[in-house]
Chain A
Amino acid sequence: MQALALAILLFPAAGGIFLGVFNWRGSRLLTAMVGPGVIWAAFVCVLILLGNNVDQDFTYWTWIRAGSFEVPFDILIDHLSLFMCLVITGVGGLIVTYAVGYMEHETDGSYARFFCYMDVFVLAMLILVLAGNTVFLIVGWAGVGLSSYLLIGFYYWRRSAVIAARKAFVMNVIGDIGMILGAFVLFVSYHQVVYLKLFPALPHTPDATTELAAFLLLVGGIAKSAQLPLHTWLPDAMEGPTPVSALIHAATMVTAGVYLVARFHPLYDATIYAHAAVAIIGAVTALFAASIALVQTDIKRVLAYSTMSQIGYMFLAVGIGAYSAGLFHLLSHAFFKALLFMAAGNVIHALHDDQDMRHYGGLWHDMRRSSVTFLAGSLSLAGIIPFVGFFSKENVLGEAFSRGDGLGYAVWFIGFVTAVLTGFYTGRMWWFAFWRPASEERPVAGHLHEAPLVMLVPVAVLAVLTTVGGFLQIKAIGGWALVDDFLKPVLGEERIRTNGLEYLATVLTLVLAALAFAAAYNFWIRGTWSPAGWRARYGWGARVLERKYYFDELYDWAFVRPLDRLAGFTDREDRSLIDTGAVDVGAYTERGAGALSLTQTGFLRSYVLVFVAGVVIAAVLVLWRASS
């Protein structure tokens, strides 16, 4: 089993090396086989481990040792890491298979490069969830940042893609530093890096150290999961190819922050402020992102903001201690958001890479299969019963509501408002892009080509999962809870719901979200209410939303430009102050030396010559004495 656990990592590693080093201008067929193949192989390894009920920390070698600081290279297999591995390799396998069709227009070199990066990403993501200690976690954490960077900048001849990639990288490095400092605090205070030794050493009552460590780790979490205020990179990350958006910026990497809090739940359980901060950041981000999604016109950006918003729900859940509810929503979101991105990818592919929804329309008629799957994803996102999104979102909000304290009601209320907004912007996306008659600006006027089978089958699989996956955990209708049961060994018992009131809240949320979805029809199809009229009345609001609350402008003004100015200042001062100072000292010395010698350089060289002679003589002496 030890070898099998390592094999989960070795398969994607081998795939990445093979594609990047040996097959980068080789056979396309081989690339198309190896790229997804290694991920499915890792999936099989995960299934075997699961089937054998493995629950163990495997140590392979000593990575770093300095005094009492000892970091092993270890893999922790438990139900939480296996759960994450299933999502990563299962949904990841589907998405990378889909990419075989989506990326077919790329040149040979780019084709292999794409799958190489994807395999490297899956490797890093698996390291992130399988790492058994805090330092190894950081390796995975930064590794996904690297692959995200490479894939956002995949079309490196587009300046916007290159800049977006760099922005994502730098923001994530800020998060990485939070993680690094958090690991320092944990090591210095508790002298452990390995989870299984660290967690029992943590105190059970809140103190400043645990709060500090939890906040520092949270910095890493919010950077990776695009939560406020380190979120601005995610919308720009849509510069990457659509399968990348589906895999990295929807299903897996951006949910790493949720995994982090769940993994470190003994730490967060021992804190008050840091734990509440997780819930509040999540709730506020959920509402913030949903409001921006109302006005975006690029379909991938709407999906990006909805991703931010849904991850906000997950943060909300783990922030109030409902860890397995957060992870259930993570799973559910991986299904329906990957589905939405890939169905949208089919459309974008057919419309020659046009992502502007204003140029869409008529898709229900022309691309029936992709549209049906997109509808399943939309209803799930909007939280309509019986799709998976309904059950998981209800689970999160139900836990918040039944918590019964101020924080619980506050985040429930924000989550409730967000759910209604989600219904509305999802409805807008569906009616406006898919249902409405074809736009005159549509780049392809006539008949559209439905996607090939290699792209349709993964989408169909996800559509099925989205439709029936909710029945894993049907607490909303008082049924079983398979996800809770599965994660119980790691995360402990979920709270039992105490009163019946949250079922009322559930019904209210469902009805209003459904009404909002339907109301969007009145706006964009029937024209009962006109979007233009609303814009005329609330133009300032639309502008604020369209400019994304001016965060990019703020950061540019507060950080980017001052940094460039500071660098310029340093450069000038280094020349004028430090260098001149040193050279002045040198000049005075030269004048002094001039008195001793004819010319200054002559002085130097004669010194050097004398020295050479001295060294040679010394060396000869040594050899002579050593031999005698």
Chain B
Amino acid sequence: MLSAIWILPALGGLIVCFLPRGAARVGAILVALAELALTLVVAATFDASHHGYQYAEQASWIAQFNVSYHLGVDGLSVWLLVLNALIGALAVLATPAAWPRASAFLGLMLLMESGMAGVFLSVDLLLFYVFWEAMLIPAYFLLWLWGEGERPNYAALKFVLFTLVGSLLMLVGVLGEYVFSSAHTFDLPALAAQPPSPAIQFGLFALFAAAFAVKIPVWPLHSWLPDAYMSAPTPFLLLLAGVMGKTGAYGMLRVLLPLNPHPVNWWDWNWVLPVLAVIGIAWGALLALAQRDLKALVAYSSISHMGFIVLGIFALNAQGQEGALVQMLNHGIIVPALFLIVAWIYARTGSRDRSVLTGLAPAMPVLAGVFLVVTMAALGLPGLNSFVGEFMTLLGAWQLSPWLAVAGCIGLILAPIYMLRLFQGAMYTEVAGPPDHPAEGVVRKDMARGELALIAPLLALMFVLGLYPYLVVHALPALGQGMQVLHW
């Protein structure tokens, strides 16, 4: 069952690459929807009271090094798999039929989705690493060949170099775990049960932390993000921003902390990362405040929001880490919605500059309403999803140190300022005139039914996760392996 989750989009993607344009789109949509159905079945039949990996599949792979092909899901990964499949499906659906070289594009997107599914499924460290690298390759080609803007080449290269540096550090870490753990295996539960000595853990922690921090990204390793997000075409951006950043946070929870639970006590990594996270929260928010381009604004706000996730993870308590998981899902829901909206505004007006855009609400009331809900979710309005995650990560951080939580609140104060500038700048103010006289040059076209259908699941999830987050987090205690840092 679990193998099918990564093989389906991988095979599907390879086939779609060689199909003619029209068939490719239909095929890709079918594959993506089947993938979504598959993950939903796993999530629905998931047993929240069971401890240990579920639906596990294990086969020896490289016997002499104890590498095994070991897949499994637990309360941490199951909803991330669903998120991956959902955003994958939306990304495929958001690709217009007239896309350049559509077959290859869709095929690569499915391959990338497959790689990310593999990351969430792996219970073997080497397998994890293989999938980690595998998701990067299609991402690189997608960014390089379909990039927009002035320097897609540059953005793609920067993205790949940053990530590759991280990956190589991680490869050293992966091998280090094998060599220094007395278990001499790559199996995650076994490694977590027998961690290496604290001094070794110290070094391994640094290697893994760097790899994951680049991917998330954690300040100050974020400088690939604006270039990559700015040049990424929207469908690809949904996957890149919506899911790929979460693989880094997932790695921290799945690999970094459980495998290195007690790094040396004279230097506490567990303090470095939350401080960097808080700096990132404020830094990203200030950057977002300075942007005029809507896409750049959303990209920078993403840095701020990812900071909450890291802060929650390193609060090292149940509230913080549960908040981090919720926030991973929230960010995966909200950011794709924002990028979709920005793309639609751009398609209608030919501009993404908030100082040029104005008064679109009368011409497109439905889009204005949808945008309002997404804006409120993004700025953390209680009752919508983001609040739950931010509240819990900050509550977790408060217990580590109240000052971290107070500093994290800077992000909460700045978020309404930049988000309302974004929303009001595009939708409100007088230049467009009262409802009867919209400004000249604005395409008076509200959201099409297809666009509404595309964003509707994301909107629904904003309400569902805001009012009933327990739906997701009740599964979290069913962890696959001993995680010393999580106390339930």
Question: Does A297 sit within 8 A of B, measured CB to CB?
Answer: no
Where chain A touches its partner, the secondary structure class is helix
Kindly state the separation between the CA atoms of A493 and B287 in the bound complex, as whole angstroms: 54
- Which of chain B's residues has its CB closest to A580's CB? B223
Interface members, chain B 454-488 (any A CB < 8 Å): 467-470, 473-474, 487-488
Question: Does A107 sit within 8 A of B, measured CB to CB?
Answer: yes
CB-CB under 8 A for A166 and B420, given A157-B359, A622-B59: yes
- Which of chain A's residues has its CB closest to B222's CB? A578
Kindly state the separation between the CA atoms of A107 and B436 in the bound complex, as whole angstroms: 9
Shortest distance from the beta carbon of A593 to any chain B beta carbon, whole Å:
10
Kindly state the separation between the CA atoms of A594 and B140 in the bound complex, as whole angstroms: 21
Q: Give B389-402 as 1s and 0s: 1 = Cβ < 8 Å from A's Cβ atoms.
A: 00110110011001
Which A residues are in CB contact (< 8 Å) with B155?
Answer: none
Taking a contact as CB atoms closer than 8 A, the residue among B383, B473, B487 that contacts A65 in the complex is: B473
Shortest distance from the beta carbon of A28 to any chain B beta carbon, whole Å:
15
* Contacts between the two chains (Cβ within 8 Å), count: 187
Q: Contact at A567–B286, with CB atoms within 8 Å?
A: yes
Q: How many residues of A contact B (CB 8 A)?
A: 70
Question: Does A109 sit within 8 A of B, measured CB to CB?
Answer: yes
Kindly state the separation between the CA atoms of A149 and B424 in the bound complex, as whole angstroms: 12
Q: How many residues of B contact A (CB 8 A)?
A: 81
Q: Contact at B412–A571, with CB atoms within 8 Å?
A: no
Q: Give B157-171 as 1s and 0s: 1 = Cβ < 8 Å from A's Cβ atoms.
A: 110111011000000
Kindly state the separation between the CA atoms of A153 and B425 in the bound complex, as whole angstroms: 13
Q: Give A562-577 as 1s and 0s: 1 = Cβ < 8 Å from B's Cβ atoms.
A: 0110111011001000
Question: Does A173 sit within 8 A of B, measured CB to CB?
Answer: yes
Q: Contact at A611–B137, with CB atoms within 8 Å?
A: yes
Stretch at the interface among A174-182, A260-268, A282-290, A309-317: A174-182
Kindly state the separation between the CA atoms of A146 and B60 in the bound complex, as whole angstroms: 56
Which B residues are in CB contact (< 8 Å) with A115?
Answer: none
Question: Does B94 sit within 8 A of A, measured CB to CB?
Answer: no
Kindly state the separation between the CA atoms of A621 and B60 in the bound complex, as whole angstroms: 11
Which A residues are in CB contact (< 8 Å) with B59?
Answer: 622, 625-626
Kindly state the separation between the CA atoms of A625 and B67 in the bound complex, as whole angstroms: 13
Q: Contact at A109–B420, with CB atoms within 8 Å?
A: no
Which A residues are in CB contact (< 8 Å) with B323?
Answer: 66
Question: Does B54 sit within 8 A of A, measured CB to CB?
Answer: no
CB-CB under 8 A for A570 and B286, given A65-B474, A169-B420, A181-B405: yes
Q: Contact at A66–B392, with CB atoms within 8 Å?
A: yes
Taking a contact as CB atoms closer than 8 A, the residue among B372, B383, B430, B436 that contacts A158 in the complex is: B430
Q: Contact at A146–B381, with CB atoms within 8 Å?
A: yes
Q: Contact at B468–A142, with CB atoms within 8 Å?
A: no
Q: Contact at B369–A173, with CB atoms within 8 Å?
A: no
Kindly state the separation between the CA atoms of A159 and B165 in the bound complex, as whole angstroms: 49
Q: Contact at A159–B430, with CB atoms within 8 Å?
A: yes
Question: Does B49 sit within 8 A of A, measured CB to CB?
Answer: no
CB-CB under 8 A for A567 and B290, given A162-B424, A184-B394, A626-B59: yes
Kindly state the separation between the CA atoms of A586 and B434 in the bound complex, as whole angstroms: 52
Stretch at the interface among B85-93, B195-203, B241-249, B314-322: B314-322
Taking a contact as CB atoms closer than 8 A, the residue among A20, A65, A586 that contacts B470 in the complex is: A65
Taking a contact as CB atoms closer than 8 A, the residue among A63, A174, A611 that contacts B468 in the complex is: A63
Kindly state the separation between the CA atoms of A615 and B473 in the bound complex, as whole angstroms: 34
Which B residues are in CB contact (< 8 Å) with A162?
Answer: 424, 428-429
Kindly state the separation between the CA atoms of A615 and B13 in the bound complex, as whole angstroms: 15
Q: Contact at A157–B137, with CB atoms within 8 Å?
A: no
Which B residues are in CB contact (< 8 Å) with A589?
Answer: 161, 165
CB-CB under 8 A for A574 and B283, given A65-B470, A159-B429: yes
Kindly state the separation between the CA atoms of A181 and B409 in the bound complex, as whole angstroms: 9
Question: Does B451 sit within 8 A of A, measured CB to CB?
Answer: no
**What residues make up the interface of A, taking CB atoms closer than 8 Å to B?**
20, 24, 61-69, 73, 107, 109-110, 135, 138-139, 141-143, 146, 150, 153, 156-159, 162, 165-166, 169-170, 173-174, 176-177, 180-181, 184, 187-188, 563-564, 566-568, 570-571, 574, 578-579, 581-583, 586, 589, 601, 604, 607-608, 611-612, 615, 618-619, 621-622, 625-626
**What residues make up the interface of B, taking CB atoms closer than 8 Å to A?**
3, 10, 59-61, 69, 130, 133-134, 137, 140, 157-158, 160-162, 164-165, 220-224, 283, 286-287, 289-291, 317-319, 322-323, 359, 361-362, 365, 369, 372, 376, 379, 381-383, 387-388, 391-392, 394-395, 398-399, 402, 405-406, 409, 412-413, 416-417, 420-421, 424, 427-430, 432-436, 467-470, 473-474, 487-488
**Beyond A69-B392, A109-B435, A626-B69: 4 further Cβ-contacts under 8 Å?**
A63-B470, A157-B428, A184-B395, A578-B222
Offer 17 A-B interface pairs, CB within 8 angstroms, sorted by A.
A20-B369, A63-B470, A66-B318, A67-B319, A69-B318, A107-B435, A146-B376, A156-B428, A170-B416, A170-B420, A177-B413, A188-B399, A567-B287, A578-B220, A583-B158, A615-B133, A625-B60
